[in-house]
Structure 1
Amino acid sequence: MPTPRRAALHRVPMRHPGDTAAIEHLITTGRLDPSGIVAILGKTEGNGCVNDFTRAYAVQSLTLMLARHMGVEAAARVALVMSGGTEGGLSPHFLVFTVEAGDAPNPAGALAIGTGFTRDFAPEEIGRPAQAEAVATAVHQAMEAAAITEVHYVQVKCPLLTTERIATAGASVATEDTYASMGLSRGASALGVALALGEVDAVLPEDIGRNWKRFSAVASASAGVELERCEVIVLGNSTAWSGDLAIAHAVMQDAIDLPAVHRAMRLAGLPAEDGQLAPAAAERLVAVLAKAEPSSTGRIRGQRHIMWDDSDINATRHARALVGGVIAGAVGRTDIFVSGGAEHQGPDGGGPVAVIARRALPV
C-alpha cells in the first residue's frame, strides 16, 4: 500500500509582486521543506489585464527563489499560478501548497492536491476546443496521480494571445483582440474542467465565450502572458490522504450571494453564522478561493450595474472588488484569492467559492 500523503498550505503576505521574502523565511527557519512544494498561487497588485506584468514578475522571482532552494529541474515542476488584481481591500499574498509523507489516512477525507501540465499551445488553438480537451486530460492525470475522487476546486493558469503570437499563427486565431483572448482562453480552460468532471459531454467551438449555460461549478481559470501552456491544480478531499485540512465549495449565483459563502464555510466545518466568522473559528480558516464576473445582463437582482460601461476601469476589476468585499465581510480578513473573469466558471454573474479549513479538534 502506498505511503499516505499529507497536504499543507502556507498563506504569506507580499510587499510587492517580486517579494518572496516571506516564503524564504519559512524555508530558512525550517517551517517549510522546499522539496515538498508542488504549487504556489499568488494574488498580485496589477491590473489583471493583458499588460499586467506583475504576474510575470512574480513568476520570475518565485522561479529564481525556488531554483536556489530545490534546483532548476525541480523548480520547473512547481505550478505557479499568479492572478493579477487586488482591487478594493484585497491583500496581495501567496498560497504555498506542499505535499509530504503522512501518517494514517483520514477516514473522513483530507485535503489532497494534484497538479498537471498541458503541452504548449499554438496561437490558433488558444480559446478553442483543442485547449479544452488538453485541459481535460491534464485534470484527469492530476486526479489519478493524487487519488482524488471528490473535487472541490480546479485552478488553471492559461495563456493568452498577444500581437506577436497572433503574427506567428499558422492558421486563423479565435480573436485578434488580445484582451478578448483572455476570456476565450479562460472559458476554454473552464469547459475543459467541466469536460473532465462530466459537467458537459463535449466542448463545441460555438460554446466558448457564448453559451453561458454551460459551465463548471469548480473551475477557476486565470490567463496570463507569462506562459504558453496550461498549468492545472486540482484540490479535493481523499480518504487516501492524511491531515486535518479539508476543502469544500459552493456556487455563488451572483456577486452578492453571501449565503453561498456561508454555505461553503459550513461545508468546510466552520460554524458560519449569518454574520462574520467568529475569531476562534477564523483561526481554523486557511484559505478562500473564488471567482468574480460581472453579469452579462448588466443587472444584479434586477438592479442596473455599470461594470461593463465604465471606460476608465475594466469590468473584471470592479467585480473583484465587489466579490472580495462580500467574502471579506463574511470571513473577517482580506487576504483572499478572488480571481476575475469567470467565463464558464459558475453561472453568469456568479462563480465558485472554495474554503480550506482545519477540522475542529474533538471535544
Structure 2
Amino acid sequence: MARMASVHRVPMRHPGDVTGIAALLDAGTLRAASIVAILGKTEGNGCVNDFTRAYAVQALSLLLARRLGTTEEDVAARVAMVMSGGTEGGLSPHFLIFAVEDTDAPATGALALGAAFTRDFAPEEIGRMAQVEATAEAVRAAMAEAGISDMADVHYVQVKCPLLTSERIAEAEGRGATVATHDTYASMGLSRGASALGVALALDEVPRAALSDGAIGQDLSLFSGRASCSAGVELTRNEVVVMGRAASWAGDLTIAHAVMRDGIDLPAIQAALRGAGLDAGAGQLADSEAGRLVALLCKAEPSTSGRIRGNRHIMNDDSDINATRHARALVGGVAAAAVGRTDLFVSGGAEHQGPDGGGPVAIIARKAG
C-alpha cells in the first residue's frame, strides 16, 4: 500500500481563525488524524514579540484536540506547527495543511512528506552547534519517515525553531551558563542560522569540518539551498518538515525548488515553477497553470552589503521598520507577480538559507492531467 500526500491552502480572517480548516474536516475532505504538519502565515510583525504565532498554534491545537478526542499537548507532540509571522505588502494570511493517507492507488512517484522533532533546547544551546547537530538528526529522521533515501530528492525543509527571551537568558545565567547573545532579536537569526546549517549538514551541502559556533551567523558562504527556518517564542525545540519526491508515493502532487540569488530573482522562481511542471513562460502564470499551483514557499533576506545588483537599499538602515519586514514585502511582490496570487508562504530571515540576500524557493503543484 502506498502513501499519498495532500496539501490544503486555507485563508484566515485573523490568526485564531480556524473555521476554514474546521469546514474541511466537517466535509470529510480532510481527516484530523491524517494531518502531519500545518504551516501558517500570520499577520504579526515576525519579531520576538509576535504572539500571533502562538495564538494560531493555540487555536489549531484546540481544534485538533477536540476532533481527535485528545489533549492540546498530545496534538503538539505529533503535529508540526510552523507559524511564520509577517504578511507585509500584499501577502495574504493563510494556512497550509499537510496530510498523509494510505491509498490503494499505485505508487507513481509524487510529493513525499516526513516530520520529526528535536529535543527541547536549553537556552545556552540555541544558536550553537548543539542545535545544528540536533537539527541534522531530525532532518535525517524526517527523511526516513518520508521514505526518501536520496538527498537529491529533498526539495524543501521547513523548520520552526525557538529564540531567546530575557527570561530564558536569566534562567540560563542563573545556572552559570552563557548564551550565544543577550540581544533577543539577534537570537532569532542565530537560531535560524544554526537550524539551516543543521539542514545543510544533513543534506551534505556543507562539510562538518566547516561548522563551529563561530561560523553561525558569521560565515554566510555556508548555506543550505533547501532550508527554510522560522524562529518563534512559542516553542523550545525544533520542528522539522521534509518535503521531497519519492517513487513509493502516490498522488497528483509534485515539488521542485530553486535558489534565488537576491530578492528580485524572478528567473529562479520561474525555474522552480518549470521544475514542478508548470509553464512559467516569460510573464505571469496563465490562469490554467495558476490553478495547478498548490503552494509557493520561499525565504526573504536583505543583503548584508546593503545593495541589490549594485544599487543601494535601506532595509538594514530603517529604524522604524524591521529589515526582514521590508524583505518579505519585496520578495512577496516579486513572487506574487510571477504566479498571480498573494497567498504565498514568504518567510523572512534567511541566515544560511541560500546566498546572502537570496534564499530558496519551492513550488508544490498538481501534475498535468
Question: TM tier, shorter chain?
Answer: over 0.9
The residue number in structure 2 matching 1:81 is 82
Residue deviations 1:313-349 (CA, integer Å, cap 9, x gap): 0000000000000000000000000000000000000
State which of 310, 313, 330 in structure 1 corresponds to 2:318. 310
Distance (whole Å) between structure 2 residues aligned to residue 275 and residue 304 of structure 1: 26
Larger mean CA deviation between 173-182 and 97-106 belongs to 97-106
Higher relative helix content: 2
Q: In structure 2, the residue corresponding to 1:308 is in which secondary structure? A: helix
The residue number in structure 1 matching 2:191 is 185
Q: How far did residue 76 of structure 1 move?
A: 3.0
The residue number in structure 2 matching 1:277 is 285
Residue deviations 1:223-250 (CA, integer Å, cap 9, x gap): 0000000000000000010001000000
Q: How far did residue 29 of structure 1 move?
A: 1.3
Larger mean CA deviation between 128-137 and 143-152 belongs to 143-152
Provide structure 1 residue ranges, at least 5 long, that are not aligned to the other structure: none
**Is the contact between residue 102 and residue 241 of structure 1 (CA under 8 Å) also seen in structure 2?**
no
Q: Which residue identity is paired with 1:357?
A: A
The residue number in structure 2 matching 1:93 is 94
Q: How far did residue 5 of structure 1 move?
A: 0.4
Distance (whole Å) between structure 1 residues aligned to residue 293 and residue 104 of structure 2: 23
The residue number in structure 1 matching 2:260 is 252
Q: In structure 1, the residue corresponding to 2:213 is in which secondary structure? A: coil
The answer to whether 1:113 aligns with 2:118 is no
Q: In structure 1, the residue corresponding to 2:296 is in which secondary structure? A: strand
The answer to whether 1:17 aligns with 2:47 is no
Q: Which residue identity is paired with 2:318?
A: D
Q: In structure 1, the residue corresponding to 2:193 is in which secondary structure? A: helix
The answer to whether 1:173 aligns with 2:186 is no
Distance (whole Å) between structure 2 residues aligned to residue 181 and residue 79 of structure 1: 22
Q: How far did residue 141 of structure 1 move?
A: 0.5
Q: Which residue identity is paired with 1:263?
A: A
Q: How far did residue 106 of structure 1 move?
A: 3.7
Taking structure 1 as reference, are residues 5 and 274 closer, same or farther at Cα in structure 2, changes over 3 Å only?
A: same
**Is the contact between residue 159 and residue 239 of structure 2 (CA under 8 Å) also seen in structure 1?**
yes
The residue number in structure 2 matching 1:359 is 367
Distance (whole Å) between structure 2 residues aligned to residue 207 and residue 215 of structure 1: 11
Residue deviations 1:197-222 (CA, integer Å, cap 9, x gap): 00112121111000000000000000
Percent same amino acid at aligned positions?
71
The residue number in structure 2 matching 1:27 is 25
Q: In structure 2, the residue corresponding to 1:316 is in which secondary structure? A: helix
The residue number in structure 2 matching 1:227 is 235
**Is the contact between residue 2 and residue 107 of structure 2 (CA under 8 Å) also seen in structure 1?**
no
Provide structure 2 residue ranges, at least 5 long, that are not aligned to the other structure: none
Distance (whole Å) between structure 2 residues aligned to residue 84 and residue 322 of structure 1: 16
Q: In structure 1, the residue corresponding to 2:59 is in which secondary structure? A: helix
Paired residues in the alignment total 358
Q: Which residue identity is paired with 2:96?
A: L
Distance (whole Å) between structure 2 residues aligned to residue 106 and residue 48 of structure 1: 39
Distance (whole Å) between structure 2 residues aligned to residue 123 and residue 351 of structure 1: 27
The answer to whether 1:321 aligns with 2:322 is no
State which of 51, 63, 66 in structure 2 corresponds to 1:53. 51
The residue number in structure 1 matching 2:161 is 158
The alignment's C-alpha RMSD in Å is 0.8
**Is the contact between residue 79 and residue 231 of structure 1 (CA under 8 Å) also seen in structure 2?**
yes
Distance (whole Å) between structure 1 residues aligned to residue 293 and residue 227 of structure 2: 21
Distance (whole Å) between structure 1 residues aligned to residue 156 and residue 76 of structure 2: 23
**Is the contact between residue 162 and residue 233 of structure 2 (CA under 8 Å) also seen in structure 1?**
yes
Q: How far did residue 30 of structure 1 move?
A: 1.2
Distance (whole Å) between structure 2 residues aligned to residue 207 and residue 253 of structure 1: 21
The residue number in structure 2 matching 1:215 is 223
Q: Which residue identity is paired with 1:164?
A: E
**Is the contact between residue 91 and residue 335 of structure 1 (CA under 8 Å) also seen in structure 2?**
yes
**Is the contact between residue 66 and residue 75 of structure 1 (CA under 8 Å) also seen in structure 2?**
no
Distance (whole Å) between structure 1 residues aligned to residue 124 and residue 137 of structure 2: 19
Distance (whole Å) between structure 2 residues aligned to residue 258 and residue 194 of structure 1: 24
